[in-house]
Chain A
Amino acid sequence: GAVVSQHPSWVICKSGTSVKIECRSLDFQATTMFWYRQFPKQSLMLMATSNEGSKATYEQGVEKDKFLINHASLTLSTLTVTSAHPEDSSFYICSAREYSTGTDQPQHFGDGTRLSIL
């Protein structure tokens, strides 16, 4: 149980292109989803927290207009990197947290998307 699917797993595109990454919780409802970015040999850096039906909360230093997040349903969140440039190249990982009324639930992670901007 608690499977999170992230798609695509690898994207290579030209500078200026917008790229959409999908994150789906396959067997549970996720009221909260998180988007992380990971640079080579570094830990995960939280970019934003998205709650279903409301605007995402971005971490300090993350450009809202550059990284558009939509969480339209309890099983799907999308991250769109708009007008991507080489410096946006990175490994992006999403996670989803199952709704719970009392006990804390762990975040379950997708397999990540490797984005390379030429």
Chain B
Amino acid sequence: SQELEQSPQSLIVQEGKNLTINCTSSKTLYGLYWYKQKYGEGLIFLMMLQKGGEEKSHEKITAKLDEKKQQSSLHITASQPSHAGIYLCGAGNTGFQKLVFGTGTRLLVSP
């Protein structure tokens, strides 16, 4: 079965700093989702990457998919306290029916 390993597991950055979260798959990635979860709440959809080399941005968050490396990265520029939460990557099968989620990265942004 597919497994997704995220790094780092947790991260504390000062407000205004940039940061990168990585998601590495044990199997071929047909596509990848990034979600954000606030503690004790549901998941907020951030981005979906479907093609190798694809890069998407939303506000100050950019995500890339490297199919050859079976990896995706999420980059936040000029972090703000509102970026704090748990970031989860999710990968689907060819039909994107079921998702397997990564181990999660807990982000804290200090003022």
- CB pair B35–A109 under 8 Å, yes or no, is yes
Which of the segments B52-60, B69-77, B93-101 contacts the partner chain? B93-101
- CB pair A104–B35 under 8 Å, yes or no, is no
- CB pair A111–B41 under 8 Å, yes or no, is yes
- CB pair B99–A6 under 8 Å, yes or no, is no
- CB pair A44–B101 under 8 Å, yes or no, is yes
Give the size of the chain B interface in residues (CB under 8 angstroms).
23
| Contact residues, B85-111 vs A (CB, 8 A) | 88, 90, 92, 96-104
Q: Is A114 an interface residue (CB 8 A)?
A: yes
Give the distance in Å from the alpha carbon of A40 to the alpha carbon of B47 in the complex.
Answer: 25
CB distance from A54 to the nearest CB of B (A): 13
B: residues with CB less than 8 A from A are 31, 33, 35, 40-45, 48, 50, 88, 90, 92, 96-104
- List B contacts of A111 (CB < 8 A): 41-42
CB distance from B97 to the nearest CB of A (A): 7
- List A contacts of B42 (CB < 8 A): 4, 6, 93, 109-112
Main secondary structure of the interface of A (DSSP, over half): strand
Which of A106, A111, A112 neighbours the largest number of chain B CB atoms within 10 Å of its CB?
A106
Give the distance in Å from the alpha carbon of A86 to the alpha carbon of B43 in the complex.
Answer: 25
- List B contacts of A75 (CB < 8 A): none
- List A contacts of B31 (CB < 8 A): 104
CB distance from A103 to the nearest CB of B (A): 9
The size class of the interface chain A forms with chain B is 20 to 34
With A109-B42, A111-B41 given, is the CB distance from A104 to B99 under 8 Å?
no
Within 8 Å by CB of A106, from B48, B88, B101, lies B48
- CB pair B40–A106 under 8 Å, yes or no, is no
- CB pair A112–B41 under 8 Å, yes or no, is yes
- CB pair B98–A49 under 8 Å, yes or no, is yes
With A49-B98, A104-B48, A107-B99 given, is the CB distance from A44 to B40 under 8 Å?
no
- List B contacts of A97 (CB < 8 A): 97
Q: A32-B97, A107-B99 are in contact. List 6 more A-B contacts (CB 8 A).
A: A43-B103, A43-B104, A97-B97, A104-B48, A107-B90, A109-B35
